[in-house]
Amino acid sequence: MKDFEKNMEDLFDIDMAGGEIVETEQVTEQVPVKSEDDQKKDYEYSRGQLYSLIEKGREALDGALEVAQESGHPRAYEVAVNAMKQVADTTDKLLDLQRKMKDLDAPTKKAGPTTVNNTMFVGSTADLQKMLKDAAKKMDTDK
């Protein structure tokens, strides 16, 4: 056992000759639980950021279009078109955010239970016609 202790001392660069074993407390990290309020705050923050990006993108697009029209340079038009694409993509992300938020709310707003009863008739068409005639006769006699 001495060789093992010696190897451990060398490996960890410690001296266990007269040392004591000190037990340490194990610390576990607590993960915060997401609540509906957090989801709503995150949604509102993301929505606000997307609105801000869209507005800034529109301002940049207006400036790029003005430069492109004044200069007539193809590269300036290319920049303006890319700005248009970025604004459109950000707008799509805003709509996607709306859809995701509805999906998060959907499980909490379930509809009532739905039951589907499938019935199946096993027999020939002649048997089915006979059964229907008997049922019709029974209905006529019950009236």
Q: What is the 3 state secondary structure string of the chain?
A: CHHHHHHHHHHHCCCCCCCCCCCCCCCCCCCCCCCHHHHHHHHHHHHHHHHHHHHHHHHHHHHHHHHHHHHCCHHHHHHHHHHHHHHHHHHHHHHHHHHHHHHHHHHHHCCCCCCCCCCCCCCCHHHHHHHHHHHHHHHHHHC
Tell if the pTM clears 0.75, that is, is over it.
Answer: no
Query: For 35-101, CATH number?
Result: 1.10.287.1060
Q: Residue 112 above 70 pLDDT?
A: no
Q: Which residues contact 94 (CB under 8 A, 6 or more apart)?
A: 47, 50, 51, 54
- Give the whole-number percent of the chain exceeding pLDDT 90: 36
* Domain residue extents for the chain: 35-101
Q: Please state the rounded mean pLDDT for residues 111-115.
A: 70
Q: Residue 59 above 90 pLDDT?
A: yes
